[in-house]
Chain A
């Protein structure tokens, strides 16, 4: 027969547990201290590194990307730091400038794309508007994403939609797109044709007619899509932001 645990036993157990806990806390504290020391060293190195390679960071997009990742890993946001060390670097300025230019391009093309633009088109137009020197030209999609994400602070007036791996749309009009709307945009991009229809949605996403219609009509209502009633088989919903001739048109 098993002995039942007595009061003494329970107390002993509790005491041991408390001891372990104390020891654990001490260990944790030590660890934390070590960690923060390491992070501090890393941060200092990063600052030195940034200062030393300031021009390189501004010029070289790959370098810039790696630098961003390093910053992110220790929670330094070179954009948020308007004062102090990081502002001396001018790296924040680089992104602030990009952010302003992104807004400019979005506003300038709004009349034709309804406020939806692919990141690629955005980049091409932005590069064209910037100076001709190499430093101004070497802007890649990572830079744009990094800068554009800052625009989230303006609420839902600005957002980035990933439509497939590495393919993004930037939406610059207020009005939120739900999962269904995003799914429609993703499908349009995937099929490589700039339109969508109820039957395509039924077939590809197994949606019922009501759901498909609701989503497509929302796109019309938001000015992101144009209605085509003159197709012979069914109504089509066209997206100027994905229509090549519109993307490439130079008239403003």
Chain B
């Protein structure tokens, strides 16, 4: 990953890596972690966090101050992100997580507005077509997340998902 991350001051503040006992302070800490994680995933264009990787991620390890988060810490933070619809555990053991730097609702809205603006309504679009549209926020969007966002549109009766021979498509109304 060659993207230059702009680390917030908290990242170099050693106690940022200890879950704070004071609840007020903890709230500030979790908000800061949330902003940092979402920015990090957005800038590196990632959508899934695998907890078996956390010891390799610079995000959770600041070697210059010798501080890192352990698995329990990360889960506590991800639970906080889940509450604002910015994360979701994929499996029961909370090993893999979707990281939504846009919530599903936001993704659905972004795609829907794009289809309206560019006259792509009422015709079948393949998932691949959507994901390979250049220079959009959803360019290269994770396929499972795309599917979830489109299902959300379907539940709002703004789209219909169509199973094609070897792929999926969608008709946005």
Neighbouring A residues of B8 by C-beta, 8 Å: 249, 251
Contact with A along B8-23 (1 / 0, CB 8 A): 1110111111101110
Is B25 interfacial (CB-CB < 8 Å)? Answer: yes
* Pairs A–B under 8 Å by Cβ, sample size 21: A111-B28, A112-B9, A112-B28, A220-B22, A223-B24, A223-B25, A226-B13, A226-B18, A226-B20, A226-B29, A227-B15, A228-B15, A228-B17, A230-B18, A230-B68, A232-B66, A238-B14, A238-B15, A245-B9, A246-B9, A249-B9
CA of A246 to CA of B32, assembled, Å: 13
Neighbouring A residues of B29 by C-beta, 8 Å: 226
Neighbouring B residues of A238 by C-beta, 8 Å: 13-15
CA of A249 to CA of B8, assembled, Å: 8
Is B67 interfacial (CB-CB < 8 Å)? Answer: yes
Is A114 interfacial (CB-CB < 8 Å)? Answer: yes
The answer to whether B25 touches A230, judged by C-beta atoms less than 8 angstroms apart, is: no
Q: Which residue of A227, A232, A240, A243 contacts B21 across the interface (Cβ within 8 Å)?
A: A227
Query: How far, in Å, is A197 (CB) from chain B's closest CB?
Result: 12
The answer to whether A228 and B18 touch (CB under 8 A), given A223-B24, A223-B25, is yes
Give the residues from 206 to 231 in chain A that come closer than 8 angstroms, CB to CB, to chain B: 220-221, 223, 226-231
Residue of B nearest to A243 (CB): B13
The answer to whether A240 touches B13, judged by C-beta atoms less than 8 angstroms apart, is: yes
The answer to whether A243 touches B25, judged by C-beta atoms less than 8 angstroms apart, is: no
Residue of A nearest to B25 (CB): A223
Category for how many chain A residues contact B? 20 to 34
Neighbouring B residues of A232 by C-beta, 8 Å: 66
CA of A195 to CA of B25, assembled, Å: 16
The answer to whether A226 touches B15, judged by C-beta atoms less than 8 angstroms apart, is: yes
Neighbouring B residues of A231 by C-beta, 8 Å: 14
Give the residues from 1 to 44 in chain B that come closer than 8 angstroms, CB to CB, to chain A: 8-10, 12-18, 20-22, 24-25, 28-29
Neighbouring A residues of B24 by C-beta, 8 Å: 223
Q: Which residue of B13, B15, B21, B25 contacts A245 across the interface (Cβ within 8 Å)?
A: B13
CA of A247 to CA of B135, assembled, Å: 37
The answer to whether B22 touches A223, judged by C-beta atoms less than 8 angstroms apart, is: yes
Residue among A221, A232, A248 with max Cβ neighbours from chain B (10 Å): A221
CA of A230 to CA of B28, assembled, Å: 19
CA of A228 to CA of B10, assembled, Å: 13
The answer to whether B14 touches A236, judged by C-beta atoms less than 8 angstroms apart, is: yes
CA of A69 to CA of B67, assembled, Å: 50
New A-B contacts (18) at CB < 8 Å, excluding given A230-B68, A232-B66: A111-B28, A112-B28, A220-B21, A220-B25, A221-B22, A223-B22, A223-B25, A226-B18, A227-B15, A227-B20, A228-B14, A228-B17, A236-B15, A238-B13, A240-B13, A243-B9, A249-B8, A249-B9
Query: How far, in Å, is A132 (CB) from chain B's closest CB?
Result: 26
Neighbouring B residues of A245 by C-beta, 8 Å: 9, 12-13
Residue of A nearest to B35 (CB): A251
The answer to whether A230 and B22 touch (CB under 8 A), given A112-B28, A243-B9, A245-B12, is no
Query: How far, in Å, is A146 (CB) from chain B's closest CB?
Result: 31
CA of A195 to CA of B14, assembled, Å: 10
Neighbouring B residues of A230 by C-beta, 8 Å: 14, 17-18, 67-68
Residue of A nearest to B73 (CB): A230
Give the residues from 95 to 139 in chain B that come closer than 8 angstroms, CB to CB, to chain A: none
Query: How far, in Å, is A111 (CB) from chain B's closest CB?
Result: 6
CA of A231 to CA of B15, assembled, Å: 9
Neighbouring B residues of A228 by C-beta, 8 Å: 14-15, 17-18, 67
Residue of A nearest to B14 (CB): A228
Neighbouring A residues of B10 by C-beta, 8 Å: 246
The answer to whether B9 touches A227, judged by C-beta atoms less than 8 angstroms apart, is: no
